[in-house]
Structure 1
């Protein structure tokens, strides 16, 4: 790699989207066991919003935790990847000076895997964080062929992946989503769709073997829909308090899943994509210069797919 300077999004204090800045920073060099990735696209996740608002940790801080791109260089000890290889991955939720919203990033072995060959890199960037979260949650649930799975928040990033992966694992999937998202989640593989706005009057009780909550609100209501032997998890931070409380309440307990980088799991996602069982759901694609707009969109909480940052897209013309 010949570049010594690159673009990266950073912020110097906690706050709203307005604190995000696109800056020129020194381009990194891979050390032992590290991979330098030329980022083609990244995506914005709710965890990026939490990090941006947090005063804990040092500054300047980068943003972005999942990406797709190609290998620019490898450090000593890396013999299974070479420059030019298409890759994707999840960096984890730790705070760092430069994240995935940058021209280049440094990844370790657990944070990178071969990208799917069947979709474009800009599309692929929408999947690593949400796909790994859904996959690890479904594995925690010990999902079996024929299980009845309830996915709450099914039109969002994690929820849309959970619907598809649950179906691929042989479950009968019921999705909870807004009325305008019904066609989307059915197209992803949901056998039945429940409108969250009217679920109190239509919710079947003790009807499900497994629950994955991607929203965090009203978990107690959805927990009542589990069979006595049912299993449930939440991946939403605002659902964690009730998950802890559920351990001392009668009925099924709700577990907490916090996604972790894993090359094996990322490779599994690659296979699901290339086998036609998993596809990205993208709401809007933004150029890097519009990172503030992408954060504002995610901040609304009204998800109809992922917001993706295309590192090679040009900002819209003002003239």
Structure 2
């Protein structure tokens, strides 16, 4: 089978297509025939070697690339009884220390990391959900804000931020969304109660809408201390980028959300997407052979949604 790997960390051209044996699922695992794999910022950071430098992964001779996958179950490992061959699923690979990732013809995942896809939800759309969607909902779980509370979401036009706005609104939270001025209407359509352009003085602008500051913040844009200024004293703050959490001034609880695969939570996300309660966004689709091009688009920036690779 074909797979995209990195054997020498660097820019987009560090991505190599190789031929390798089809992986076999072990106990509690399933093999997925990949139909779509989303391209995420963490893939570029992995490719560059920055995660090795940060101590978040060990250097490897061969590093697999890609976290998000959607496709059909192709084989079952011993002990897997609640999945059937041929079933369409989405899943998340949440380990970095592997030689194969989602940019491949086949991928082995833990059975607990996948969610069955309901009819009507395409593999392309489903592949954009696992990493970004789970990051959003797990961050909201960590904030643990009550219904009616106020929350700041930075990077609201991006993948994580967009899912965070929608998921927060579905939980009954009142959202202050931060994004580029041209994204105001799309972000409001996601469920934002207030909008602040990212060019504005963030803390002062938010506090004009919510005197005293918001109850919590989900910092998808890694704004750090400037976003912390919009949070009330003894509020709560979650950073989704490692190293982007600010010093916990004014008694604010500052946390970092580290993603974990969760098939049950992913099942809720795909159900919401299939029923139109959660909008998925695909910026562009490319064949697996154009993974380098996909990473070049990612580096260029300005994407509204995810680039999705199709084997």
Contact 2:156–2:164 at 8 Å: present in 1 too?
A: yes
Q: Which residue of 1 aligns with 2:90?
A: 88
Find out whether 1:305 has 2:308 as its counterpart.
no
Contact 2:233–2:250 at 8 Å: present in 1 too?
A: no
Structure 1 residues 42 and 153, CA gap change in structure 2 (3 angstroms): same
Q: Tell me, in whole angstroms, the C-alpha distance in 2 between the residues paired with 1:181 and 1:281.
A: 14
Instruction: Select the residue among 208, 217, 222 that pairs with 2:214.
Output: 208
Unpaired stretches in structure 1, ≥5 consecutive residues: 1-5, 312-319
Contact 1:286–1:308 at 8 Å: present in 2 too?
A: yes
Deviation at 1:203, TM superposition (A): 3.5
Q: Which residue of 2 aligns with 1:152?
A: 154
Find out whether 1:295 has 2:304 as its counterpart.
no
Q: Tell me, in whole angstroms, the C-alpha distance in 2 between the residues paired with 1:98 and 1:234.
A: 28
Instruction: Select the residue among 98, 103, 110 that pairs with 2:100.
Output: 98
- TM-score between both structures, scaled by the size of structure 1: 0.89
Deviating more after overlay: 250-259 vs 265-274:
265-274
Contact 1:51–1:95 at 8 Å: present in 2 too?
A: no
1:99-178, aligned counterparts within 5 Å? 99-178=101-180
Deviation at 1:189, TM superposition (A): 1.6
Structure 1 residues 61 and 294, CA gap change in structure 2 (3 angstroms): same
Q: Which residue of 1 aligns with 2:55?
A: none
- SS in structure 2 at match of 1:198: coil
Contact 1:173–1:192 at 8 Å: present in 2 too?
A: yes
Structure 1 residues 13 and 131, CA gap change in structure 2 (3 angstroms): same
How many residue pairs match? The answer is 300
Q: Which residue of 1 aligns with 2:77?
A: 75
Deviation per CA, 1:106-162: give whole Å up to 9, x if none.
Answer: 011222121243321111101100000001000001122211111001111110110
Q: Which residue of 1 aligns with 2:11?
A: 16
Q: Tell me, in whole angstroms, the C-alpha distance in 1 between the residues paired with 2:201 and 2:60.
A: 43
Q: Tell me, in whole angstroms, the C-alpha distance in 1 between the residues paired with 2:175 and 2:286.
A: 32
Unpaired stretches in structure 2, ≥5 consecutive residues: 53-57
Over the residues paired in the alignment, what is the CA RMSD in angstroms?
A: 1.7
Q: Which residue of 2 aligns with 1:234?
A: 239
Q: Which residue of 2 aligns with 1:179?
A: 181
Q: Tell me, in whole angstroms, the C-alpha distance in 1 between the residues paired with 2:149 and 2:293.
A: 40
- SS in structure 2 at match of 1:298: helix
Deviation at 1:238, TM superposition (A): 4.3
Deviation per CA, 1:47-84: give whole Å up to 9, x if none.
Answer: 11111111542121110011110101111211111111
Q: Tell me, in whole angstroms, the C-alpha distance in 2 between the residues paired with 1:236 and 1:215.
A: 8
- SS in structure 1 at match of 2:302: coil
- TM-score between both structures, scaled by the size of structure 2: 0.91
Deviation per CA, 1:191-239: give whole Å up to 9, x if none.
Answer: 222111123463326331121001112x222212112242110102241
Contact 2:234–2:253 at 8 Å: present in 1 too?
A: no
Instruction: Select the residue among 215, 218, 225 that pairs with 1:220.
Output: 225
Deviation per CA, 1:21-59: give whole Å up to 9, x if none.
Answer: 122211112222210100110111111111111154212
Q: Which residue of 2 aligns with 1:257?
A: 257
Contact 2:33–2:105 at 8 Å: present in 1 too?
A: yes
- SS in structure 2 at match of 1:26: coil
Structure 1 residues 298 and 237, CA gap change in structure 2 (3 angstroms): farther
Deviation per CA, 1:278-318: give whole Å up to 9, x if none.
Answer: 1212222221111112112223443421121122xxxxxxx
Structure 1 residues 58 and 275, CA gap change in structure 2 (3 angstroms): same
